[in-house]
Structure formats: C-alpha cells, structure tokens
Structure 1
Amino acid sequence: MSVAKEVTNVEAQVIAAKKAAKRVGLLSTEEKNEALYILADTLEKNHQVILAANEKDLLVGREKGYEEAYLDRLALSKERIVDFAEGLRQVAKLKDPAGEILSSWTLENGLLVEKVTVPLGVIGMIYEARPNVTVDATGLALKSGNAIILKGGSSALSSNKAIVQVMQGALNKTKIPKEAVQFIASTDRVATQQLFTMKEHIDVLIPRGGASLISAVVNNATVPVLETGVGNCHLYIDVEADVEKALNILVNAKTDRPAVCNALETVIIHKKWLEKNSELLITAFKEHGISIHGDKVALSYIPNAVLANEADWANEYLSLELAVKTVDSLDEAIVHIETYGTKHSEAIVTENKATAKKFMSLVDASALYHNASTRFTDGGALGFGAEIGISTQKLHARGPMGLPALMTIKYMMSGNGQTR
C-alpha cells in the first residue's frame, strides 16, 4: 500500500470517529453502560480468538529477542482477558462524568450561568506492547462519551486487531456506533505522524509507553497532548523507618510486577538504617532474586552488588534489577529524587510524621506514598476503574487518569432576552 493511500485511510478513520463522537456524546448513562457490559461479555466469550492472535505476536517477539519484561507486558492469558473485561464492568458501575453541573450562579441581570462537564470528543491513543490498554482506553472513552483512535505498537499488532474486531462486532449490538472505536493497523511511521497533526479532528493525544515514544509525541504533535510518563520510582527508607514495613514495601514495590511503570527502580536508604538492618535487607534481596547496582557505601554492605553509574540512577529497569543509593539525610534523598525522578510515584517509609510531611510536601510527583507501596499508582487500585494512563504533567490531569480526565467543560448560559 502506498504512503498516500495509508494517509487517506487514516484520515477517513479519524473523520468517521469524529462523526461517531457526536452520537456517543448524546447517549444516556444506561445506554453506555449496557454497551460496556456487552463488550465485556463478548471479550470473554472470544478469549480463544484473542489468545491465538496474541501467540502470533509473542512468537515474533521471541524471534526478535525481546526482553522478558517486554514480553510480559505483551502477553495475554485467559485470566488477563477476564481481568480487563471485568475492568469494563467496573467502569460501567462508575458515576457518569458527563453533564455534571460543577457550579452555577445567576447574574444581576437574571442570566443563569452553569459550568458543565462535557466529553473531549475524539481521543487519540498511541501506545506500546500492552494489549490491555486497547480495552481499558476504549472503555473509559466510551463511558465518558468520547470516540477513540487506537494506534498500538507493531509488536502487538495481531492482538490489538483481534481485540478491536471483537469489540466492534459487539458494538453492533449496542447504541454506540462501531466507528467510535478506530484502530490504525498500519505499522508505517507516516500513519502515526499523520495523527500528530490532525488537530481539526482529534481533540487530544495520549501517548503511553517508553520514553522515546512519549518524547516523539510531545515534541512533534500539534494536537494537544496529555503526557504520561515513564516510572523511575523511588522509595526512601528513613532512619526512623520500621524494619518490617520497609522490607515488605520494598519487596512488593520491586517484585510484584517489575515490568510496570509503578514498580520500584531505586531505593534510597539512610546510612544509619542500613548499618543496623543490612543483614535483613541482604536476605530479602537474595530471597527474591533482586540484583543490586549500588553506590560505594551500599557495596560495602551488600555482597555481589555492582557499582552504579550515572545511567543506573535514571534507569527504568522494568526487571528485578534495583539501584541502591545511601544518604545521610532526608534533604539528600529529596535532592536525588529531584535529579533523577520522573514525577511518577515516590514513597517514604518512616515513623516520624514530621519527616513524612516534609517529604510529601517537597517531592514533586503525581503520586506520593507514606508507608505504602508505589504499586498503588493505578486507576483500578485507587478506585477509578480502568485507567487510560498516568499523567506526570500538571495541566488538566495528573496521576492515574480515569473518567474525569477525559472531560472538559462548557459554560452554558440561559436567559430571558438579556442583551449587552
């Protein structure tokens, strides 16, 4: 297929989505919820079709030598399909964010002013590897009254095509037009670049993936971007940290699912705490197969650790590798996070409330934790239902983005012939 033909197809799909968005925005909560339940049931019934397509992607990935962390993000199972189908049901149960009157007032001349939530319109989703994003993003977009353009990575092409075909078939049984969910199947970069500049049809782009993908969208798009971020997440273990809490939180944040963006990548440890508890820490590392890149002080306590370099402090390992930084104070820990953090998720373990308050106040991140794991930075875990991404920017939306992040506002005025 020629480049011109691909661009024409992309434009046609985007225009179709824009037309469909107007119809979706007029649907009732009940009609949207019914569609989400039908989508969930249909995905579960067709899990074998989806898994067969996913196996094709995994086979190609293994042949190309993809890292295990990447293959984990790409892989589906019946359980994972059931999970994202259940995510759709959870979204259906959430409050409909559309049409909410946020505030209202009447002017002296009798003009009623209402600030009302409305859908963004057409959402462009550009993402890598995880096929579950195809379902999560679709569910959130439709529930909030939006249409969605999906551009997944080439590594998950077969999986995503199968999922979208199943979902579009299901939408034929609902009030939502199937054109409200568009999948750009082209693997040519021209197709992606076309999405960057279609601001007359696309209202927002949301990139979700590695640093290079996010950077490419942010730096090249003329369409407004809701920026998600990579997760170089830190845990600071304070001198007054409870030992059991610190170890449990560290192990959970690092090992529960190392390949996701809210997993721990660097632990910062107060030197006095390390001096007292190094043996327990070493045991935890050994038991869970965690390999260490540490500074010189860390190496003096932790056998088999390798000396960290500058790249290690900024690295999102997405594996069971962990950077260990030792400090003499909270202030030193905060400076390290400011230098290498990605404003995603940062945590502190301490029994000193004043220390925790200072950390929570001064550290600049979308999600902060006191005596808890960074793994909770997730739409489902925080009660938002499925999430469309985790925003590390400060405008419009920040942190896990659920339904409210996919809305904008209108000011609606009602009068009785007032003129100015």
Structure 2
Amino acid sequence: MTFLKENVDIQSQASIAKKASKKVGILSTEDKNRALYILAEHLEAGYESILEANKVDLQKGQEAGYTPAFMDRLTLTKERIFDFAEGLRQVAGLEDPTDQVISDWTLENGLQVKKVTVPLGVIGMIYEARPNVTVDATGLALKSGNAIILKGGSSAIHTNQAIVDVIQYALEHTKIPKEAVQFIASTDREATQPLFTMKKYIDVLIPRGGASLIHTVVKHATVPVLETGVGNCHVYIDSEADVDKALPILVNAKTDRPAVCNAAETVLIQKDWLLEHKDALVKTLQEHSITVHGDEQTLSVIPNAVPAGEDDWANEYLSLHIAMKIVDHVHEAIEHIEQYGTKHSEAIITENQETADLFMKLVDASSLYHNASTRFTDGGVLGFGAEIGISTQKLHARGPMGLQALTTVKFLMTGNGQIR
C-alpha cells in the first residue's frame, strides 16, 4: 500500500517541476513517444496495485455516502486501467504539437520571421474524483513538452497516489525526468490554495470538476486559468425532427453515461412534434427509467412527471433525471439555452437544414450537434487520444482540449545584422 505524505511543500514541488519542464521541452518527439509507451506498459503491469488502492477509496466513498454518479467516476477496473494505457499509446501516435511552424515570412529588410508552437511550461491540474485524469493529463502534458503538477480530490487520494507511483517509476526508464510529474499528496483542501498564485513556477491552471471547484479557481487564481465547465447540455427536438432519430439520440445523450459532463440534462421539445409523437416518447422514457422534471405542458402529457422549479433548468443532474420544456419554435429553444446553458454541448434534431443552420450559428457553446448525440464531446472520441478537459471559455482553447491546447507560440526572428 502507498503511504501518503501529508506534509507537502508545494512551492518546492512547483520549483522542481519548473526545472524539469526545461528538460522535457527540448526532448525529441521520439524520446517523448518512447516514454509514453513505457508508461503504458507499466500501468498495465501495475494494475493490481492501483486497484488495491482504489478499493480503499471506494470503501471510504461508500462510508461517506457518495452518490452513484460520483462512485462511477471514482471506480476503476482492470479494463479501465488498460484503456488508460491504450490512451497513452494513442497520444504517442499523434503529431507532436510543438516546433510546428504556423507561419513564416521575410521583411523587406531581409529579417526572417517564424511563428512556432512551444510548450506552455508547467501545468497545474486541479481535479475531482476521476483517476483517469491523472493518466490522461500526464500523457498530454508530457507529449506536448510540459511538466505537470497534479492535485486530485481527497476522494481518490490513494488511487491517484498509486497511479503516480507507477508513472514516476516508469519515467526512471525514460529520458523524461520523473520530477516532471508532481503529485500533491494531501487531502487538505487548503493545500490547493498556493497553486492559485504561483505565477513564478506555474504557467496555467486547469480545474476539472464540479461548479464549486471551477468557480473557486477562477475567482481566486492569479495564474492564468483554462476554464473547464459543467455540462448543462440540451437536446432540442424540432417540429421537423425524425422520430426514429430523435428518440435514440435522446436516450443515448441521457443514459449512455449519465454521470459525465456531456450527458444531456434538458430536452426542449417543439409542441407540435410532442403532440404527434407523445406515445412513443412516453414509452421510450419509461423503458429507460428516465424521470422527467417538466413545465406545465409537460406535466399534462408525460405520466409521473414532477414539476420543474427554476433550479431544474440549470441543474446538472448526472443521473437518470432530465428537465423537459415544451417550446413553440427554435427561437424559444435558443433563448432557453442562452439563459441556462453552460456553453458546453448542445444538439438540435431536425430534418430542416435551414433551422439547423440557424441553431448552429446562434447557439453559443463549444460543441454543437445536428442530428447526433452530445456524448461525442470527448477528446478520445474526436481523435485527440485523450483530453485534459473541455473548455467552455473562448480565449486560447475551446471545447475538448488535446495536445494543441497545451502549447503557446513564439516568434523567432533571424537576421544578418539588421537594426531598427
């Protein structure tokens, strides 16, 4: 069993990570890829020790009365660990995001200018409950030439420590210094606070978790923040929606993995479509044990629906509950999303291309879908190998963040004695 080190010196860890980032940043693509393959092999070989640590966290979670959704995010299996490893191999197979020439030109005086991609430096990752983030974030950070400081939630402390132990041991067999991966092994929430202001050592903070965590980091950090958002995702079923597409999409978006941020939490239905297809809709909802929280029109149509309060329109249920509102037209749906959406993922189901185009242009979100489930907002699914989070902000990065999001740019000028 791994022993936790509660007396941590975060400033020292950050300083060490900064020094290590300089070494990672100059490694070749081949060296970084080889390291990721070695990490994958060690994770697979060490899965039993990780699962033993995970049992401790799961037992504590049961005693604490964590919700089923929370426990699902916390739970590891051999298959999930092997999926983490495969994700690292996929990241290794992706193009190196650094040292790419974005553009180049020559001034009239002969000065040559290049705009190239470079690592951010040190990434501070603050997250809750999800042990997969420990692996995904590490793989993406190292492939993009960065060091990383990991601060997971107390609920997964033993699991995360066991994973980091495997990672750091594996790095001893690579050209990446093991100091490039730092883990704050503390269950004290206050231990996160110093990360917020360490601009000398940390180049960006990425919070990933519930609304409270994200709000706290955004509010108090002086270090730049890549804000990931909660997912109050909507599915709008238009008057011209194909029922054979609409119902399977709704079921998938709500029930495939209810506890994740790209699951649908609200369905908006055009009233004429509802009246025509209410029997099929009711049957589908009942077959999948979906509890509906609805407005007055919904309550008159959907048996056993419960009245929706104002909080329901903004709620991220992370369960088999869904809010339902009946609307007159696409503009009303767009207005509702504008008021309650979290700029994560939104979907429209319609056979009218003009209506779909209007929705896609006017809805402000990182990821928009026409006749498809919101569940595709995922870095792995979209070909990134893994993701470090889903950004709901607009500057630097937006949507699922893969390797490119962990780089910035430099302008490199080459002259022959030019002066101004």
Q: Do Structure 1 and Structure 2 share a fold, with TM-score over 0.5?
A: yes
1:231 pairs with 2:231:
yes
Equivalent residue, structure 1, for 2:28: 28
Q: Return the TM-score normalized by structure 1.
A: 0.98
Deviations 1:367-408 (A, max 9, x none): 000000000000011111100000000000000000000000
Deviations 1:120-164 (A, max 9, x none): 000000000000000000000000000000000000000000000
Equivalent residue, structure 2, for 1:92: 92
SS in 2 for 1:215: helix
Question: Contact 1:152 / 1:160 at 8 angstroms: preserved in 2?
Answer: yes
Return the letter of the residue paired with 2:37. Y
Return the letter of the residue paired with 1:21. S
Return the letter of the residue paired with 1:362. L
Equivalent residue, structure 1, for 2:112: 112
SS in 1 for 2:336: helix
Deviations 1:53-91 (A, max 9, x none): 001000000000000000000000011101111000000
Return the letter of the residue paired with 1:344. H
Return the letter of the residue paired with 1:412. L
SS in 2 for 1:206: strand
Equivalences for residues 130-279 of structure 1 within 5 A: 130-279=130-279
Equivalent residue, structure 1, for 2:315: 315
Aligned-partner Cα distance in 2 for 1:205–1:67: 27
Question: Contact 2:8 / 2:185 at 8 angstroms: preserved in 1?
Answer: no
Once the 2 structures are TM-superposed, how far is the Cα of residue 189 of structure 1 from its aligned partner? 2.7
Equivalent residue, structure 2, for 1:403: 403
Question: Contact 1:7 / 1:190 at 8 angstroms: preserved in 2?
Answer: no
Question: Contact 1:31 / 1:175 at 8 angstroms: preserved in 2?
Answer: yes
Aligned-partner Cα distance in 2 for 1:342–1:7: 37
SS in 2 for 1:88: helix
Q: Return the TM-score normalized by structure 2.
A: 0.98
Aligned-partner Cα distance in 2 for 1:189–1:369: 37
Question: Contact 2:154 / 2:188 at 8 angstroms: preserved in 1?
Answer: no
Equivalent residue, structure 2, for 1:122: 122
SS in 1 for 2:9: helix
Equivalent residue, structure 2, for 1:83: 83
Unaligned runs of 5+ in 2: none
Equivalent residue, structure 2, for 1:329: 329
Q: CA RMSD in A?
A: 1.0
Equivalent residue, structure 2, for 1:352: 352
Question: Contact 1:7 / 1:191 at 8 angstroms: preserved in 2?
Answer: no
1:63 pairs with 2:47:
no
Once the 2 structures are TM-superposed, how far is the Cα of residue 186 of structure 1 from its aligned partner? 1.4
Return the letter of the residue paired with 2:40. A
Equivalent residue, structure 1, for 2:72: 72
1:416 pairs with 2:416:
yes
Once the 2 structures are TM-superposed, how far is the Cα of residue 8 of structure 1 from its aligned partner? 6.6
Aligned-partner Cα distance in 1 for 2:295–2:8: 54
SS in 2 for 1:149: strand
Structure 1 segments, 4+ long, off by >6 Å, are: 5-8
Equivalent residue, structure 2, for 1:287: 287
Deviations 1:230-286 (A, max 9, x none): 000000000000001000100000000000000000000001000010111111111
C-alpha change, 1:20 and 1:333, in structure 2 (3 Å) is same
Question: Contact 2:47 / 2:81 at 8 angstroms: preserved in 1?
Answer: yes
Greater Cα shift, 282-291 or 185-194? 185-194
Aligned-partner Cα distance in 1 for 2:300–2:189: 48
Return the letter of the residue paired with 2:306. V
SS in 2 for 1:15: helix
SS in 2 for 1:123: strand
Once the 2 structures are TM-superposed, how far is the Cα of residue 48 of structure 1 from its aligned partner? 0.6
Equivalent residue, structure 2, for 1:16: 16
Aligned-partner Cα distance in 1 for 2:286–2:89: 40
Question: Contact 2:208 / 2:228 at 8 angstroms: preserved in 1?
Answer: yes
Deviations 1:265-323 (A, max 9, x none): 00000010000101111111111111110111111111011010000000000000011
Aligned-partner Cα distance in 2 for 1:7–1:208: 24
Once the 2 structures are TM-superposed, how far is the Cα of residue 190 of structure 1 from its aligned partner? 2.8
Return the letter of the residue paired with 2:206. I
SS in 2 for 1:174: coil
Aligned-partner Cα distance in 1 for 2:198–2:380: 31
SS in 2 for 1:76: coil
Aligned-partner Cα distance in 2 for 1:406–1:121: 9
Question: Contact 1:7 / 1:194 at 8 angstroms: preserved in 2?
Answer: no
Aligned-partner Cα distance in 2 for 1:187–1:194: 14
Aligned-partner Cα distance in 2 for 1:173–1:61: 35
What is the percent sequence identity of the aligned residues?
A: 72
Aligned-partner Cα distance in 2 for 1:135–1:188: 22
SS in 2 for 1:382: coil
Return the letter of the residue paired with 2:403. L
SS in 1 for 2:223: coil
Unaligned runs of 5+ in 1: none
Aligned-partner Cα distance in 2 for 1:253–1:276: 22
Question: Contact 2:8 / 2:184 at 8 angstroms: preserved in 1?
Answer: no
Question: Contact 2:126 / 2:150 at 8 angstroms: preserved in 1?
Answer: yes
Aligned-partner Cα distance in 2 for 1:401–1:67: 27
Once the 2 structures are TM-superposed, how far is the Cα of residue 191 of structure 1 from its aligned partner? 1.7
